Amino acid sequence: MLYAVRVRLYPNAAQREFFAKTFGCCRWVFNDALAHCQRLYEAGEKRPSAYDLAKRVVILKADLPWLADADSQALKYACSSVDQAYKNFFRRVKAGEAPGFPRFKSKHRGDATYTATAATGIALEPRQLKLPKAGWVRCRGGRDWEGKIKRATVRQTPTGKYYATVLVDDGRDLPAQPETGLTPLGIDVGCKTEGFTHQFAALSTGELISAPAAYKRQMKRLRRAQRRLARKQKGSASRLKQKRRVAQLHERISAVRRDFLHKLTHQLTRENQALAVEDLNVQGMMRRPAAKPDPDRPGAFLPNGASRKRGLNRSLASVSLGEFFRQLEYKCDWRGVTLLKVGRWEPSSKRCSCCGKVNDTLTLADRRWQCLACGTEHHRDINAAVNIAARAA
């Protein structure tokens, strides 16, 4: 079974310089390999494999000696990342999904990362982490682990912090999941905001779970910081300082959200043998409707409701439903918990959990409603959670 140990690094000056060189070299190798693949594709030639791209890096080192300052295995991993990105692209095209063509990496977008794959040169101890060519780096935040280290990914955030994620294989198989005699716990997720909290989920037991609306709480500060950033002169030192302040606010929001999701998924998978959720299309829920041409004004478009859906997009992004389902899925695999999914078109909110009558007149604004057939009063989300548990059982 594979699991990751995440630690925060505290490198010295020489190690920070080595990390910066390796980040830049890996980014350059990735972009060069991607451009090479595009040139061959436009010429009608066969796309090179990860092995061919790695051999090409060896040839490039003769003309570009600064590539030798970086971890050589990390450069090979960058080549394999290009190959995997192309495979994922063609797989999505074949499946009819959104293609998502591989993009070039920019040092101004996202975290700076590289992956060390030489497992013999990686060692993790309580207060230090050994990395190839970097030596022992001081770290904090590790936990007890056992198994074999596979690789380590070093990351520098936009706020200047360094983290390392060490992938460990403990050699054990995933526990078997029970399939019969289960009484699943139904979970209905949502994003209704009340003050500085989200009504994140409702359980079939009648419990309502609230999540901190970290983005809404920091929205005023974030707007002010972004306005100040927009007024700074590009390339100036004050702009870099203000850019870091904006990144610190985003990092704080992300940390609060991630902490809540990990605690909630840990509790759900520890206390239950089976869980039932809806198979939601989160990206489709956040997608804005296409604008339609206005027949009375040539070249103009009718309002497409984007202004009405913008708030829903923000709330959906703030609660991170996709990340919640991802964590729930792999933690269920770890702990032998059965995860059942109900179809996304199931009228879980509109169906009465007592008599089964479907209320077609129910709207999103109706939080409580009464069944016209049996007279039972329902809380919208708790009723949906009960129906999800019943349909998944």
Q: Could you give the residue numbers annotated as active site?
A: 188, 278, 381
DSSP helix/strand/coil, 15 = helix
- Tokens for 279? 């198979």
- Tokens for 296? 């009375």
- Tokens for 153? 């990914």
346 touches 188 (CB < 8 A): no
Of the chain, the end-to-end C-alpha distance in Å amounts to 28
186 touches 201 (CB < 8 A): no
Long-range residue pairs from 210-218, CB within 8 A, at least 24 positions apart, any chain? 211/257, 211/260, 211/264, 211/319, 212/256, 212/257, 212/260, 213/318, 214/252, 214/253, 214/256, 214/257, 214/318, 215/253, 215/257, 215/314, 215/317, 215/318, 216/318, 218/249, 218/252, 218/253
123 touches 153 (CB < 8 A): no
Name 259's Cβ contacts closer than 8 Å, sequence gap at least 6.
Answer: none
- Tokens for 268? 């759900």
CA of residue 332 relative to chain centroid, distance: 18
Name 92's Cβ contacts closer than 8 Å, sequence gap at least 6.
Answer: 98, 99, 100
Sign (positive or negative) of CA dihedral 256, 259, 262, 264: negative
CA distances from 215 to 146, 188, 256, 284 (A): 37, 22, 9, 22
102 touches 86 (CB < 8 A): yes
118 burial (CB, 10 Å; 0-12 / 13-18 / 19+) is middle
